[in-house]
Amino acid sequence: MGRYLFTTLFSLLILAGCSSTKLAYRYADWGIVWWVDDYIPMTSEQESRLERDIRNLRQWHCSTELPQYSQWLTRLKSDVRSGELDESTVAWHQEKLFSFFPPLMDRAKPAAVRLLGSLTDDQVRQLAANMKDTQQELEDELLADNPEQTRVARAERTTERIERWLGPLNDSQRETVGRWSEARGKQTEIWLEGRRNWQQALLDSLEERDSDGFSDRISYLIDNNEEVRGERYQQMMAESRTAIAELMRDLLQQADQHHLDHLLVQASELKGDFDTLACVGEDTGKVSG
């Protein structure tokens, strides 16, 4: 039963894309709009408002949410080490994990509406053009000349992320990752398609940013992210949630004690980062440039 809890933890950790939790936290995108600063020039007033909103959001998240993450990791590690685990305990951990995301997104909504609602027509045009360019760059990067090359590249990316948390994979684990990647079919293409759909929905909403219903439209984009990205994306995500859980289970079943020890060390370091992140000061209030 302990391996199922490891699966829950591993599924969380594999989502982390930055080698340093502190660095990732300091420069986090914080929802759907903070990357607008990278796409278009902003006025001094917009920059000032955005900095205040991010400072407030980070302060809330650091003081309210991070302690919950740390407490959860403490409980999870304790349950794993005790070995006395039942189905209800595992279910509790899974529900706790998924409960962390909605409060953050909900808290970011007012700032998202303020920033997006303040954009000028020229800024919206620049945003659209730059998002299109970035989308093309992603497609060029992630889609190879043939499906086999795309599959191999996806397997390499997956292996790299996994090895951060488990250490070097053995031959059986590498074969498992390869089979998993092959079974994903057109997942990369569908992800890119969904990203394009969501961005178009955002641009459509921006055309109505002076209307009374603009706030509701942005809230809908946040709350119904998968639906906005399209039916193929929804189906892919439903299948992917099961597939990633199965991948984690298989990799952990094939793991030796070295892999599990490596995972616990990484989890302990993550908890340590949560415990030591400062909630006040300049570092929590600056927008990355």
Whether 289 is covered by a domain: the verdict is: no
Q: Give yes or no for residue 10 having a pLDDT over 80.
A: no
Structure-model confidence comparison of residues 182 and 45, the more confident one = 45
Amino acid 67 reads: P
- What residue spans of the chain are helical by DSSP H? 2-13, 21-26, 36-39, 44-60, 66-82, 87-98, 101-117, 121-142, 147-166, 171-183, 187-206, 214-223, 225-229, 231-253, 257-276
Q: Coil, strand or helix: which one is 279?
A: coil
Q: Give yes or no for residue 3 having a pLDDT over 80.
A: no
Average pLDDT over residues 161-172: 90
Q: Give yes or no for residue 34 having a pLDDT over 70.
A: no
157: Cβ–Cβ under 8 A, 6 or more apart, which residues?
Answer: none
Looking at the whole model, is its pTM more than 0.85?
Answer: no
Structure-model confidence comparison of residues 217 and 14, the more confident one = 217
Q: Give yes or no for residue 211 having a pLDDT over 90.
A: yes
Per-chain mean pLDDT for the chain: 77
pLDDT for the residue 56: 85
Whether 286 is covered by a domain: the verdict is: no
- Are the beta carbons of 206 and 40 closer than 8 angstroms? no
pLDDT for the residue 157: 85
Q: Give yes or no for residue 5 having a pLDDT over 50.
A: no
Instruction: Give the residue among 12, 4, 5 at the shortest CA–CA distance from 266.
Output: 12
Residue 77 in tokens: 């590690």
pLDDT for the residue 213: 95
pLDDT for the residue 128: 94
Q: Residue 230: pLDDT band by 50, 70, 90 thresholds?
A: very high
- Are the beta carbons of 52 and 95 closer than 8 angstroms? no
Distance of alpha carbon 76 from alpha carbon 120, whole angstroms: 48
Distance of CA 124 to the CA centre of its chain: 25
Average pLDDT over residues 47-75: 83
Amino acid 233 reads: Y
Whether 153 is covered by a domain: the verdict is: yes
Q: How many domains does the chain have?
A: 1
Torsion angle of the four alpha carbons 275, 82, 16, 240, in this order, in degrees rounded to the nearest 10: -150
Whether 121 is covered by a domain: the verdict is: yes
Which residue range forms the structural domain that includes residue 248? Answer: 2-35+42-281
pLDDT for the residue 194: 93
Whether 96 is covered by a domain: the verdict is: yes
Whether 127 is covered by a domain: the verdict is: yes
Report the 10 Å Cβ neighbour count for 136. Answer: 10
pLDDT for the residue 18: 37
Whether 110 is covered by a domain: the verdict is: yes
